[in-house]
Chain A
Amino acid sequence: MVKIFNNRTLAISQKVYGWLLRAYPPSHREKYGPAMAQLFRDQCRDAWSKSRNRGVTKLWLRVLPDLVKTSFIERLAALTKRKSMTDKMTALMQPRTVFLKVFAVVFLLILCATVAITFILPESYASTARIKVEPDEPAAATGISPGYDPYFIQTQFVIMQTQIVLDSVIDKLNLNVLWGKKYAAGNTLTTNESLEILKGRISLAPVRNTKLVSITVYSDDPGEAAQIANAIAEAYKDYRVKLATGLAVVNLSRLEQEFGNNEKQIERIRIELNALRQQVKIGNEISDNPPPQEQSYWDKKQYLDGLLEAHKTLYAKLEAAKLEAQIPKTVLVVITDPAVPGHAPVRPNKTLNIALGIVGGIFLASIAGGISVLIALKFRKRIGKTTAIV
């Protein structure tokens, strides 16, 4: 059964190919044109089923050279069949005429193909969210700063593209279902499939001489591009905040445990000192030269004083860590400019593509014209020889 595809890309491709068939001589076109158009339609349908627009573009890149080559061959073959062929061919094989005709045909073909491909390619919109990224703060408890990290921004770029961040974007925006409808005929995509698509659409760049980072997302839907860019910024912020909060909590719990152990040790030494004091019967007065039996008491007392001093420092650290755990870490990542939907598509760049088509067309048409002149000159020589023999 023949399937009918109501698709703009296929419809334009078929229309353009139908028009390009004019490059063939009328007799060939009349006999084989419909069959060629049908074959191209079948190839288009296959290419579309396999890889959508990319497949159709690849097909065009294969079909165009084929069309140029075979239409030239068929034109030459048609000429050889005509009566008074020698005269007509000699006239037609004038180098200048050949060059101009081939140049015009090749140039128009390339230009038409460029225009067709430019309009076939899906339009893509870009949306950019800007965020301010700060490195991790020094831990208040230890006072140790992580120091300058020359790879900090690059590391953050990699983190922004990891599963940890992007999976939550996919979940939040329900991209598996949304993109399944768009690209997989309604079948829900796996998270890995969505992840691959998403990674291909993200572009990250630092804003020069600032701590700002641009998150740009491309999509055929301007609203979707903005939503994804904002969701990435949010997901990355959540990740950094959770990480920093988690570290502060771990640090606080470690300090609390250390503080508790220290307190227990101080209490134990105090009890031991009281016992010693009663045992050796030491008064409250401190003498410069204590008798030898009191020496162990005074040594222990000195050790306790040291411990109490360390305990005070630990207490200060603990209070600082408690304070740090309470402070929200949102300053690590600040979304300075949320993304908004773009007004005009950024891809394909129609003006640039058509300009490139014109430049490329002139270049390739000149080469094709030059080659045709060489062939025409050879042909003229051969015809000349044949005529001389006849």
Chain B
Amino acid sequence: MAKPKSDPESSLPLTPAVFHVLLVLAGGERHGYAIMQEVAASTDGQIKMGPGTLYGTIKRLLEAQLIEESDERPDPHLDDDRRRYYRLTGVGEQVVRAEARRYAEIVELARDKKLIRKPA
């Protein structure tokens, strides 16, 4: 994951941690703690990232240029101004979309095999 690849499909499949971080950032820029909390909340606490896993993932995503650090800082009165904020890059957005499509296809396949039901 050193340089962004022209074809987002070539970055797939993503690891669950990477996919969840990208999914959270698809909702807008977040700092590390907010990412960790949202991932835990969206997975009902099944994925609880430690600081090592989270910042290791962030480091790789930054290197792969799927995310970038945001220069904008919120009002320091509302938040700790030492926090670093991250957001998706254009390539990152393509990759997360491609991964979501891949998951959707897998879900469709599972439905065809009657492994899961269609939502009511």
| Chain A residues proximal to chain B, CB less than 8 Å | 1-2, 24, 28, 31-32, 34-40, 42-43, 62-63, 65-67, 69-71, 73-74
Interface string of B71-108 (1 = CB under 8 A from A): 00000011010111000000000000000000000000
Could you name 9 residue pairs across A and B whose Cβ atoms are closer than 8 Å? A28-B59, A32-B55, A35-B32, A35-B51, A36-B52, A37-B51, A39-B32, A62-B48, A63-B50
A24 to B52: give the CA distance in the assembly, Å. 9
Instruction: Please state if A2 and B52 are interface contacts (CB–CB under 8 Å).
Output: no
A73 to B56: give the CA distance in the assembly, Å. 9
A73 to B60: give the CA distance in the assembly, Å. 12
A73 to B50: give the CA distance in the assembly, Å. 14
Tell me whether A39 and B48 are in contact in the complex, defined as CB-CB below 8 angstroms, given that A28-B59, A32-B59, A70-B56 are known contacts: no
Chain A residue nearest to B52 (CB atoms) is A70
- Least Cβ–Cβ distance between B74 and chain A, in angstroms: 12
Instruction: Please state if A66 and B53 are interface contacts (CB–CB under 8 Å).
Output: yes
| Chain B residues proximal to chain A, CB less than 8 Å | 32-33, 36, 48-56, 58-59, 77-78, 80, 82-84
A73 to B33: give the CA distance in the assembly, Å. 22
Instruction: Please state if A38 and B82 are interface contacts (CB–CB under 8 Å).
Output: yes
B51 in complex: contacting residue of A31, A63, A69, CB < 8 Å: A63
Chain B residue nearest to A64 (CB atoms) is B50
Instruction: Please state if B48 and A36 are interface contacts (CB–CB under 8 Å).
Output: no
- For A38, the chain B residues whose CB sits under 8 A away are 32-33, 80, 82-83
A67 to B80: give the CA distance in the assembly, Å. 25
- Least Cβ–Cβ distance between A194 and chain B, in angstroms: 30
- Least Cβ–Cβ distance between A282 and chain B, in angstroms: 100
A1 to B77: give the CA distance in the assembly, Å. 7
Q: Which of B32, B56, B59 has the most CB of A within 10 A?
A: B56
- For A69, the chain B residues whose CB sits under 8 A away are 52-53
- For A28, the chain B residues whose CB sits under 8 A away are 59
- Least Cβ–Cβ distance between A246 and chain B, in angstroms: 53
A269 to B58: give the CA distance in the assembly, Å. 106
Q: Which of B32, B49, B50, B77 has the most CB of A within 10 A?
A: B50
- For A74, the chain B residues whose CB sits under 8 A away are 52, 56
Instruction: Please state if A39 and B82 are interface contacts (CB–CB under 8 Å).
Output: no
Instruction: Please state if B32 and A62 are interface contacts (CB–CB under 8 Å).
Output: no
Instruction: Please state if B33 and A42 are interface contacts (CB–CB under 8 Å).
Output: yes
A37 to B52: give the CA distance in the assembly, Å. 10
- Least Cβ–Cβ distance between B82 and chain A, in angstroms: 7
A39 in complex: contacting residue of B33, B56, B77, CB < 8 Å: B33
Interface of B, helix, strand, loop or mixed by DSSP: helix
- For A37, the chain B residues whose CB sits under 8 A away are 51
A69 to B54: give the CA distance in the assembly, Å. 12
A36 in complex: contacting residue of B51, B78, B80, CB < 8 Å: B51
A80 to B50: give the CA distance in the assembly, Å. 24
Chain B residue nearest to A59 (CB atoms) is B50
- Least Cβ–Cβ distance between B42 and chain A, in angstroms: 17
- For B53, the chain A residues whose CB sits under 8 A away are 66, 69-70
- For B50, the chain A residues whose CB sits under 8 A away are 62-63, 65-67, 70
Tell me whether A35 and B48 are in contact in the complex, defined as CB-CB below 8 angstroms, given that A2-B80, A42-B33 are known contacts: no
Other 6 A-B pairs with CB < 8 A, given A2-B80, A36-B52, A70-B56: A35-B32, A39-B32, A43-B36, A63-B52, A66-B51, A69-B53
Instruction: Please state if B56 and A34 are interface contacts (CB–CB under 8 Å).
Output: no
A345 to B51: give the CA distance in the assembly, Å. 34
- For B56, the chain A residues whose CB sits under 8 A away are 70, 73-74
Chain B residue nearest to A33 (CB atoms) is B55
A32 to B62: give the CA distance in the assembly, Å. 12
Instruction: Please state if A39 and B59 are interface contacts (CB–CB under 8 Å).
Output: no
A71 in complex: contacting residue of B52, B54, B59, B80, CB < 8 Å: B52
Chain A residue nearest to B82 (CB atoms) is A38
- Least Cβ–Cβ distance between B10 and chain A, in angstroms: 21
B52 in complex: contacting residue of A1, A31, A34, A66, CB < 8 Å: A66
A83 to B18: give the CA distance in the assembly, Å. 28
Chain B residue nearest to A27 (CB atoms) is B59
Tell me whether A39 and B54 are in contact in the complex, defined as CB-CB below 8 angstroms, given that A28-B59, A32-B59 are known contacts: yes
- Least Cβ–Cβ distance between B59 and chain A, in angstroms: 6
Chain A residue nearest to B36 (CB atoms) is A39
- Least Cβ–Cβ distance between A255 and chain B, in angstroms: 67
A1 to B50: give the CA distance in the assembly, Å. 23
